[in-house]
Amino acid sequence: MAEDIIPIGGSTSSVCAKISKNIVRNCDDKPVAGMEQRLVLINCDDLPASGITFSADYPNSLIEAINLNNGKTGYEVTGIKQIMKFSNALEVNDEGENGIPHNITGIRFYDPSEAARDEINKFIGGARVYAILETKWKGIENKYAFKFFGIKFGLEISELTEASSENDGTVVMSLKTPNGFKEPYLPHIYRDTDYTTSLTTFNNKFAS
């Protein structure tokens, strides 16, 4: 029987992946902070698992097609400057799987109407959504522009504030992976063929 290989450090471990690529800086594709101030939110019930096509080569990082249930659409959220932001921070679990809660902050409601407040109440009531956004750093040929948040558990409201003396009086909301859960991966890249095709689908809010 073959002996176990003992890694440097002197202990064995059970892992589901090993690295296979060099990590180098590309001088022709320098990083850019920020995101475009547009989101598309999709009700989780409107996008079945069968409606998401993952890349055969990169199933844990690339989505190639998104097809909502018949007659369904996503809903656009817009912002200004760099008020909307996202962040993803590793949670290490010594007694379980590591994971990444997905987080989008700075979602402001610029409409004081009863219709807008009714939508806010739906989030308070437990609405669960997926989110697709476009980053400022898109990569060469804009191949990596779009990111898909909440692939496994969706996003739910995590913070909400309304104050007359803050944020121009707007309601401000954050969305995050539900409490007690974490996504197994960073947000997937979404790319349907190329940037132009992906942008058209995004602009159409993924309507079926």
- Asked whether residue 9 is assigned to any structural domain, the reply reads no
103, pLDDT greater than 60: yes
Q: Which amino acid is at 51?
A: G
- Residue 92 is encoded by which pair of tokens? 């290490």
| 6 has pLDDT over 50 | no
- Asked if residue 143 is part of any domain, the answer here is yes
* Average pLDDT estimate for 32-38: 97
Question: In this model, does residue 195 exceed pLDDT 80?
Answer: yes
- Residue 208: which pLDDT band, with cuts at 50, 70 and 90? confident
Domain that holds residue 83: 35-203
Q: Using a cut of 0.75, tell me whether the model's pTM lies above it.
A: yes
Query: Distance between CA 147 and CA 157 in Å, rounded?
Result: 19
pLDDT confidence of residue 1: 47
Contact by Cβ (8 Å): 91, 182: yes
Q: Is residue 3 in a domain?
A: no
Residue 8 included in any domain: no
Asked, for residue 21, whether it belongs to a domain, the answer is no
Residue 204 tokens read as 């159409």
For the chain, what is the domain count? 1
Q: Could you give the C-alpha distances from 121 to 56, 83, 118, 128, 180, in angstroms and in order?
A: 39, 22, 5, 12, 22
User: Does residue 86 sit within a domain?
Assistant: yes
Identify the CA nearest to 99 among candidates 34, 185, 13. Answer: 185
- For the cut 80, the answer to whether the pLDDT of residue 9 exceeds it is no
Mean pLDDT of 189-202: 98
Looking at residue 10, what is its pLDDT? Answer: 45
The β-bridge partners of 171 are 109, 162
Main-chain phi, psi angles of 62, to 5 degrees: -140, 125
pLDDT tens per residue, range 144-156: 999 999 999 999 9
pLDDT in tens, 70-98: 999 999 999 999 999 999 999 999 988 99
Kindly state whether residue 10 falls inside one of the protein's structural domains: no
Asked whether residue 15 is domain-assigned, the answer is no
